[in-house]
Amino acid sequence: MYCRYREVSPICVGKHRPLRTDEITKEHLIPRFLMKDPKFRAKWGIAFNPSDEPNVDISCHKCNHLKNQMADVPFVWKLQYFNKYGIVIKTKRSLARSIRFQEDMTLTVKERDTALQCILRGDFEWLEHRVARFNFRQVSVDLSDGVVVNYLDARRKLPRKIKKKSI
């Protein structure tokens, strides 16, 4: 058996060889938390249970962990984006080396680490032709051609003086 994502995944252990039994995990194409939402099920006309056959496939542990709670199609788009722009996600260090930040961006070390975590673990959506947005918790990172062009942290608190002026 091969991992479901072996053709597009830059980290898949089953890319060049079949998976060993200790590498195989059961993967839900549509995450279980979405399948439990009656509005989602009604919108898409889903009548089967989250763990029934149409929603379950095999993937390697690394791909399944990286997918987290994303649906199948956006996850594949994310992997294709990584491949297209040479973003390496095998380790955090390789991710940090392959991601570039726009020259005029001034981010602290903690903000850069948060941006990298958002890119690695966040949800993926296309904004424009070559611009993608990654959302994780309350952090949003925009990449254009593999370069970070926008970083927004909604958790960031404004200084007290600015709060008073804006109110």
Q: What is the pLDDT along the chain (167 residues), one digit of tens a residue?
A: 888 888 888 778 777 888 888 889 888 888 888 888 888 888 888 888 777 888 888 888 888 888 888 888 888 999 999 988 989 888 888 889 999 998 888 888 999 999 999 998 888 999 988 899 999 988 999 999 989 999 988 876 655 555 445 45
pTM (2 decimals)?
A: 0.79
Beta bridge partners of 56: 28
CA 104 to chain centre: 25
Give the pLDDT confidence score for residue 97 in this predicted structure: 92
Q: Could you tell me if 96 and 139 are in contact, meaning their C-beta atoms sit under 8 angstroms apart?
A: no
End-to-end CA distance of the chain: 60
